[in-house]
């Protein structure tokens, strides 16, 4: 097996393990007033959550930080139609949807909709998230370089979004 393939498998395994840790911490440390624990889809702790990893390279860089990586867990609730605006992150993040719908628009203006029990992992490329008609409730676990002082950075949309 080539080193690149082995590294890719290690990064994906680390992302899945991180998602499990994120979910466990979510249940243990962050009680939600918006989503009762019984409403969270079953199987998320056992790795049953489909995870769309948009950038394995971003996770490789985050894990290989010479000066360490900080992890930040954030619970977010978006009103219907609320947008993140176009933005990037200093490091990758794993998002787990627990209620509602979230549409992610990537740097190529491709739209993917995620619902309860689904997850995604963004990289460092520009993207935007928009809550569905019922809003969206989700958790985001950020992997940040030790010197990062923000979770996100506002950015201009890609050329395809400016038409």
Look at strands 119-122 and 51-53 and give their pairing.
parallel
Single pTM value for the model? 0.66
Q: Are 71 and 141 in contact (CB under 8 A)?
A: yes
Tokens of 115: 């619902």
141-155 pLDDT, tens per residue?
A: 888 887 788 888 999
On whether the 3-162 domain is CATH 3.30.70.270, my answer is: no
Enumerate the domain spans of the chain.
3-162
| Nearest alpha carbon to residue 44 among 151, 139, 154, 158 | 139
As a whole number of angstroms, the distance between CA 121 and CA 96 comes to 9
Banded pLDDT at 20 (limits 50, 70, 90): low
As a whole number of angstroms, the distance between CA 33 and CA 59 comes to 31
């Amino acid at each position: 097996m080539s080193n690149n393939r082995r590294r890719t498998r290690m990064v994906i395994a680390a992302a899945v393990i991180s998602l499990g840790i994120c979910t466990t911490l979510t249940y243990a440390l962050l009680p939600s007033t918006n989503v009762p624990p019984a409403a969270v889809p079953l199987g998320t702790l056992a790795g049953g959550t489909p995870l769309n990893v948009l950038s394995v390279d971003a996770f490789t860089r985050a894990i290989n930080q010479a000066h360490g990586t900080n992890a930040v867990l954030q619970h977010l609730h978006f009103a219907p139609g609320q947008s993140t605006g176009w933005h990037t992150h200093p490091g990758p993040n794993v998002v787990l949807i627990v209620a509602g719908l979230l549409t992610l628009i990537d740097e190529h203006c491709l739209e993917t909709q995620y619902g309860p029990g689904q997850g995604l992992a963004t990289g460092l490329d520009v993207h935007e998230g928009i809550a569905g008609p019922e809003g969206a409730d989700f958790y985001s676990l950020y992997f940040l370089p030790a010197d990062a002082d923000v979770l996100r950075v506002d950015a201009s949309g890609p050329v395809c979004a400016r038409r």
